[in-house]
């Protein structure tokens, strides 16, 4: 057999095994987040022109994703929706917005090394 054929079969086997392991353990790898929606959000942030991307978890709860250290883009999005930033609590990973009537607390957390996952509004 040629070396090219052996390398092709070995690479294909590795891809199949890796894919099967990822498919079986996706909850441990991605947590509660859906892998395809999360991958789409990362693609929109990295390749696309979006600064804030939407995604959902396995319970269809809305989350926003931004690059790490870029919370200002999310704050700007909320300002466009009519919310005003009242408090930025870095110690508790919390943003407090006011829509003119009541305060709304939105929590965020680190996702992977390069991203921040923000709870959906409301």
Enumerate residues 6+ apart whose C-beta is below 8 A from 5. Answer: none
- Model's pTM, two decimal places? 0.70
Phi/psi zone of residue 13: left (φ > 0), alpha (ψ -120 to 50 degrees), beta? alpha
pLDDT reported for residue 122: 47
DSSP annotation of 121 reads P
pLDDT at 105 over 70: yes
User: 6-61: per-residue pLDDT in tens?
Assistant: 999 999 999 999 888 877 876 666 666 777 788 888 899 999 888 999 988 878 88
pLDDT reported for residue 121: 61
């Amino acid at each position: 057999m040629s070396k090219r054929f052996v390398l092709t079969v070995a690479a294909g086997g590795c891809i199949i095994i890796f894919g099967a392991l990822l498919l079986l353990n996706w909850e441990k790898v991605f947590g509660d987040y859906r892998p395809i929606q999360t991958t789409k959000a990362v693609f929109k942030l990295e390749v696309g022109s979006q600064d804030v991307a939407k995604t959902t978890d396995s319970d269809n709860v809305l989350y926003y994703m931004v690059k790490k250290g870029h919370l200002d883009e999310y704050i700007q999005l909320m300002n466009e929706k009519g919310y005003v930033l009242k408090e930025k609590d870095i110690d508790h990973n919390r943003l407090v917005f006011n829509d003119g009537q009541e305060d709304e607390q939105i929590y965020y957390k680190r996702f992977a090394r390069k991203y921040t996952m923000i709870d959906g509004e409301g």
